[in-house]
Amino acid sequence: MSQQAEQTDKPKKIYYDQRSVALRTPQVAYFVQEHDKIAMLDLLLGQYENTQSVIVVKSKRKADQLSEFFNSKNLKALAVHGNHRAEQQLEAATRFNLCAINILITTDTILETLELKDIKLLISYDLPLIPQVYYNRLAYMNELGSAIALVSPEDDKALSAIEFNMKAEIQAKELEGFTPTPIPQGNRLGGKVKDKKKKPRHKKVKAKTKKQED
């Protein structure tokens, strides 16, 4: 057998560290102003009806607000976070795993304790500041689902760090049917607002050097 054939027959090694899992997990980023995130999320979930979805936010308050919003639209959504007792957290995980609810809103701290099964869609409503935390989110899906990140100008640095550490750029898409709204003076879910009209995207700038002639 030739050396070339031996190399061809040799099975490719598959790595299961969290960065490798992240690279194999389908991911997409939608760029949106902070105050428009909830409207975009509402439109997105309409495309993933009855999909077992987990939405990760950075605060308990935001989790409760999103839960109230979706329940007002008669969607099966439940928020679970650090203000809930261990029994309530376990009940939320059980209901999700039994498909009694299909939208679970939580924080990273609680997500790692829930032991959720068959997550088909993971939405990063807020990106974490630490890239490893983002990879952890994707690992909970066991490569059975896909991931969406809603990226506001406030999330731009976090996205840059995630892509730099992953050594890959997350595919950016525009959501059909979504119309951005004017930036308000203040908003309930958005927090600080930056007037940044262009899509935030980590840009790698290569320095150019020229040889000087004597």
Q: What is the pLDDT of residues 48-67, one digit of tens each?
A: 988 999 999 999 999 999 99
* Residue 69 falls inside a structural domain: yes
Task: Give strand pairing partners of 85.
Answer: none
* DSSP 8-state symbol, 181: -
Q: What is the pLDDT of residues 69-121, one digit of tens each?
A: 988 888 888 999 988 899 999 999 999 999 999 999 999 999 999 999 999 99
Q: What is the pLDDT of residues 160-203, one digit of tens each?
A: 999 998 888 999 999 999 999 887 775 545 444 444 444 556 44
* Residue 168 falls inside a structural domain: yes
* Residue 130 falls inside a structural domain: yes
Kindly report the CATH number assigned to the domain that includes residue 68: 3.40.50.300
Q: What is the pLDDT of residues 128-154, one digit of tens each?
A: 999 999 999 998 998 889 999 999 999
Q: Which pLDDT does position 4 carry in this prediction?
A: 54
* Residue 212 falls inside a structural domain: no
Range of the domain at 69: 16-173
Distance of CA 47 to the CA centre of its chain: 16
* Residue 187 falls inside a structural domain: no
Task: Yes or no: say if 114 and 80 are a contact pair by the CB < 8 Å rule.
Answer: yes
Q: Which pLDDT does position 82 carry in this prediction?
A: 87
* Residue 178 falls inside a structural domain: no
Q: Which of 6, 95, 111, 100 is nearest to 56 (CA)?
A: 111
* Residue 2 falls inside a structural domain: no
* Residue 194 falls inside a structural domain: no
Overall number of domains in the chain = 1
Q: Which pLDDT does position 205 carry in this prediction?
A: 33
